[in-house]
Amino acid sequence: MNFRRGSTHEEPELNLIAMIDVLLVILIFLMVTTTYSRFAELQINLPQADAEKPVDQPDPVNVAVDAAGHYMVDKTAVAFSNPESLSAELRRAAGSQTDPVIVINADANATHQAVIHVMEAARIAGFSRITFTTQASAPK
C-alpha cells in the first residue's frame, strides 16, 4: 500500500564535506609518509688509519700505483696492458710462495680503477691475501 500522493521523489543529495574530509586525510597521510632524497648533498667523510703497526709479513709482494696509473711490482716498473699480464708479474714476484700477502701502495690521487686492476690481477693469480698501506693521521 502506497499512501503517498503523486510520484514526488526526493533528489539524492551529494554530501561534499565528507568527501573533502576523506581526501584531506589521505593527502596528509601521503605527505607525512613520503621521504625526500637529496643526492646532490651527499657528504662522505673518509676514515683515518690509526691502527697499530701489524706484525711483519714474510716476504710480501709490494705493488705501487702512482697518480698517473703507473705500476711497480717489488720496485720493478711494469707496463699495464691487462690484468692477466699483471697477474703474471705478481706470480713472478711471489716466487715459490703459494699465497703471499699482496701489499697495495696506492697514491691518494690514484684512480679507483687502477687499484681494482691490482686486485683483479691478484685474484687471477690465485692470491687472496690483499692489504693496503695508509699514511698515519697527523697527531692531535
- pLDDT tens-place string over residues 89-134: 999 998 888 889 998 888 888 888 999 999 999 999 999 899 888 7
Domains delineated in the chain: 61-132 (3.30.420.270)
Which contiguous run of DSSP H or E holds residue 78? Answer: strand 76-78
Which contiguous run of DSSP H or E holds residue 112? Answer: helix 112-125
- pLDDT tens-place string over residues 79-101: 888 999 999 999 999 888 888 99
- Residue 127 and residue 90 in contact, taking contact as beta carbons nearer than 8 Å: yes
Instruction: Give the pLDDT confidence score for residue 70 in this predicted structure.
Output: 87
User: Could you tell me the pTM of the whole model?
Assistant: 0.58
- pLDDT tens-place string over residues 26-74: 999 988 887 765 544 444 444 456 666 666 667 889 898 888 888 989 8
